[in-house]
Amino acid sequence: MTNTTSPTSTPKRRIGPFNVTAIGLGCMNLSHAYGVPPSADVAEALLLAALDLGVDYFDTAALYGFGANEELVGRVLSPHRSRFMLGSKGGMTGVDGKRVIDGRPETLKRNCEDSLRRLRTDVIDLYYLHRWDKRVPIEDSVGAMADLVREGKVRTLGLSEVSADTLRRAHAVHPITALQNEYSLWTRNPEIASLDACRSLGVAFVAFSPLGRGFLSGKLRDVSSFEPKDIRRTMPRFEPSHYAANLKLLDAYASVAQEVGCTQAQLALAWLLAKGEHIVPIPGTTSVAHLREDMAALRVSLDADIVDRLDTLINQNRVSGSRYNAATQTEIDTEEF
């Protein structure tokens, strides 16, 4: 049930014209979202370790740390720019200390200029619309982003947290290279329509939060220890009553990991890789040890029986609590069960 590949045969996947290692790095939590971020030295060491481990797709956004994450990525990785594919996002940024979704063409172009400066690069390989601003037709937002491609500031375009229908509308304006939505054993919404839409359109599916924001690692047992600004405090699945119910799912899951001969985090990532050749997970971490663990999932190959068993063990019918609270839910466009 497990196969080990040699270091010289690191699995690769396509994101548009780019051939990248099948697991990338989400850089968000080096600056944002899960409480106090790590020190600059720790964050720098993590990024350089990722590069040394073969990570060649780094994913950031203007929102993360209100620009701080892009500045970090730019400062640390710009000397190595030829070694990796760079993805960032606009259309959701920090304005006067508050998160603002703004998909107007002039805003997106200004966001891109700001990102290029912070990232210390002349071009962003994959530029996403971070959230669809529903006050602005998707065609208008993508049209402005297409201008950035024509101007040579961006190589390819992506979307985040949108539905299959919105993806198709955007793709009709300009080819979309990647759709980035949350996908893991406990968030199965992409299976409704977006995975199939990506496959039919030739669009890569970039899976964020592939470890369920820590849940699927098996290491997150006490949600009461979250720091005050940890965004998981606002997510129903992490409320104590829901989380207690969800923890009960992990015993059988841990048994499967033991049977396969891998960690629980590696099992979650291997499951995603088995769900489609067009899927690229981007786990995030602040720990080099966890980073090595995640990348070792590239050497775990699951047979169809294990995939089916995992599908049954943890899915939308067994997880307690919704993904987002009601306010956040209104901001996204993804399909819901």
Per-residue confidence at 1, pLDDT binned at 50, 70, 90?
very low
Give the chain's count of helices (H) and strands (E): 12, 12
Contact 138, 168 (CB under 8 A): no
Residue 324 annotated in active site: no
Catalytic residue among 34, 64, 243, 324: 64
Q: Domain 14-211+268-298 is in which class?
A: alpha beta
Contact 141, 108 (CB under 8 A): yes
Q: Which helix (H) or strand (E) holds 44?
A: helix 40-52
pLDDT of 4 over the 50 cut: no
Alpha carbons within 13 A on the beta-carbon side of 76 = 23
**What is the model's pTM?**
0.97
Q: Which residues contact 197 (CB under 8 A, 6 or more apart)?
A: 164, 167, 168, 179, 203
From the list 162, 94, 150, 153, the residue with the least C-alpha distance to 127 is 153
pLDDT the model gives residue 9 = 78
pLDDT of 278 over the 60 cut: yes
| For residues 168-174, average pLDDT | 98
Q: Which helix (H) or strand (E) holds 244?
A: helix 240-247
| 45 token code pair | 């060491």
How much is the mean pLDDT over the chain?
96
pLDDT of 6 over the 90 cut: no
